[in-house]
Amino acid sequence: MSKYDVDVLIVGSGPVGATFARKLVDAGHHVLMIDAGAQLSGTYGEHLKNSFLYQKNVDLFASVIRGHLHPLSIAKDDSPVVTLDPSSFSYDAEEWPGFVLNNQNPEQKKRDNLGASAATYAVGGMATHWTCAVPEFHATLERTYNGEQYPIDATTMDKLYKEAAGLLHRSEAVFASSARHLLVREVLHRAKFTDVRELPLAVRARPDQAKSDAVHWSAADTVLGPLANPRHTPTQGSFRLLAEHQCTKLELTDDGNGQQRVTGVKVRNLRDLNEKVTINAEVYVVACNPVLTPQLLFASELRNEANGRYLTEQPMAFCQTVLKQSILDNVETLLEKYPDARTRVKEYIEKQRQKQQEKTPGADPVPFPKGELEPNLWIPAVPGQPWHCQIHRDAFSYGEVPPNIDSRLIVDLRWFGMSRPRRSNRVTFSRDIKDTFGMPQPTFHFELSKEERADCGRMMEHMMRVAAQLGGFMPGSEPQFLTPGLPLHIAGTTRMGKDEKTSVVDPNSQVWRVKNLFLGGNGLHPFGNAANPTLTSVAMALQAVEKIKTILPSS
Residues annotated as catalytic (active site), given as ranges? 489, 532
By C-beta, is 30 or 414 nearer to ligand G3F?
414
**Nearest 10 degrees: CA dihedral of 368, 217, 126, 240?**
160
Identified binder of ligand G3F from the candidate list 34, 119, 133, 470, rule CB under 6 A: 133
Instruction: Examine residue 541 and tell whether it contacts ligand G3F (CB under 6 A).
Output: no
Q: What's the closest the beta carbon of residue 396 comes to ligand G3F, in angstroms? A: 4
Contact between residue 288 and residue 439 where contact means Cβ atoms under 8 Å apart:
no
Identify the DSSP state of 210: H
Q: Is 157 in the site for ligand G3F (CB under 6 A)?
A: no
Closer by beta carbon to ligand G3F, 29 or else 414: 414
Sequence-separated (6 or more) residues with CB below 8 Å from residue 212 = 55, 206
Minimum CB distance to ligand G3F smaller for 338 or for 415: 415
- Is 124 among the residues that bind ligand G3F (CB under 6 A)? no
- Element (DSSP H or E) covering residue 444: strand 440-445
Which H, E and C letters describe 497-520, residue by residue?
Answer: CCCCCCCCECCCCEECCECCEEEC
- Minimum Å distance from CB 260 to ligand G3F? 34
Cα–Cα distance measured from residue 548 to residue 542, given in angstroms and rounded to the nearest whole number: 10
Tell me if 447 contacts ligand G3F by CB under 6 A.
no
User: Contact between 26 and ligand G3F (CB under 6 A)?
Assistant: no
312 binds ligand G3F (CB under 6 A): no
Q: Is 394 in the site for ligand G3F (CB under 6 A)?
A: yes
Residue with the CB atom nearest ligand G3F in the bound state: 131
Of the pair 132, 544, the CB lying nearest ligand G3F is at 132
Q: Are strands 197-198 and 376-379 parallel, antiparallel or unpaired?
A: antiparallel
Q: How far is CA 90 from CA 85, 281, 283, 493, in A?
A: 10, 51, 52, 40
- Strand, helix or coil at 253? strand
Distance of closest approach, residue 394 Cβ to ligand G3F, in angstroms: 5
DSSP E strands, 127-172: 144-145, 148-149, 170-171
Q: Which of 178, 532, 537, 543 is close enough to bind ligand G3F by CB under 6 A?
A: 532
Q: Which residues pair with 481 in a beta bridge?
A: 317
Q: E strands, 243-396, where?
A: 245-254, 260-269, 277-286, 316-323, 376-379, 388-392
In angstroms, the Cα distances linking 410 to 171, 377, 477 are 23, 14, 11
- What's the length of the chain? 555
Judged by CB under 6 A, does residue 414 bind ligand G3F? yes
Contacting ligand G3F within 158-217 (CB under 6 A): none
Of the candidates 45, 161, 58, 15, the residue with the CA atom closest to the CA atom of residue 376? 58
Window of 74-82, 453-461, 484-492, 543-551 that interacts with ligand G3F by CB under 6 A: 484-492
Provide the minimum distance between the beta carbon of 463 and ligand G3F in the complex, in angstroms, as a whole number: 13
116 binds ligand G3F (CB under 6 A): no
- Nearer of residues 62 and 548 to ligand G3F, judged by Cβ: 62
State in angstroms the smallest separation of the CB of 384 from ligand G3F.
Answer: 23
- The H-or-E segment that residue 540 falls in is helix 534-551
3-state class of 447 per DSSP? coil
Among 34-42, 103-111, 206-214, 483-491, the segment contacting ligand G3F (CB under 6 A): 483-491
Segment near ligand G3F (CB under 6 A); pick from 75-83, 286-294, 374-382, 388-396:
388-396
Q: Which is nearer to ligand G3F, 131 or 428 (CB)?
A: 131
Confirm or reject binding of residue 16 to ligand G3F (CB under 6 A).
no
* Positions in 487-506 near ligand G3F (CB under 6 A): 487-489
Binding range to ligand G3F, per CB under 6 A, among 2-10, 218-226, 269-277, 389-397:
389-397
Between 62 and 511, name the residue whose CB sits nearer to ligand G3F. Answer: 62
Q: How far is the CB of 315 from ligand G3F (least distance, A)?
A: 12
Of 73 and 131, CB closest to ligand G3F: 131
Size of the site for ligand G3F (CB under 6 A): 11
Beta strands in 271-392 (DSSP E): 277-286, 316-323, 376-379, 388-392
Task: Report d(CA 67, CA 75) in Å as an integer.
Answer: 20
- For 426, 430, 468, the CA distances from 214, given in Å and listed in that order, are 41, 45, 30
Per DSSP, the three-state class of 44 is coil
Binding residue for ligand G3F (CB under 6 A) from 179, 317, 486, 535?
A: 486
Which one-letter DSSP state was computed for residue 204? E
Query: Site for ligand G3F (CB under 6 A): which residue of 307, 390, 425, 477?
Result: 390
Burial class from Cβ neighbours inside 10 Å (0-12, 13-18, 19+) for residue 155 reads exposed
**Nearer Cβ to ligand G3F (327/488):** 488
- According to DSSP, the β-strands at 410-416 and 316-323 are antiparallel
Q: Which residues of 75-96 are buried (b: 16+ CB within 10 A; e: fewer)?
A: bbebeeeeeeeeeeeeeeeeee
Stretch binding ligand G3F (CB under 6 A), from 140-148, 169-177, 482-490, 518-526 = 482-490
Q: Smallest distance, Å, CB 486 to ligand G3F?
A: 6
Q: Torsion angle of alpha carbons 382, 488, 40, 172, nearest 10°?
A: -10
Minimal distance in Å, beta carbon 517 to ligand G3F?
A: 27
Whether 300 contacts 249, CB under 8 Å: yes
* Residue 242 vs 466, nearer CB to ligand G3F: 466
Smallest distance from the beta carbon of 388 to ligand G3F, in angstroms? 9
Contact status: 537 vs ligand G3F (CB under 6 A): no
Q: Is 104 in the site for ligand G3F (CB under 6 A)?
A: no
Contacting positions for ligand G3F (CB under 6 A): 131, 133, 390, 394, 396, 414, 486-489, 532
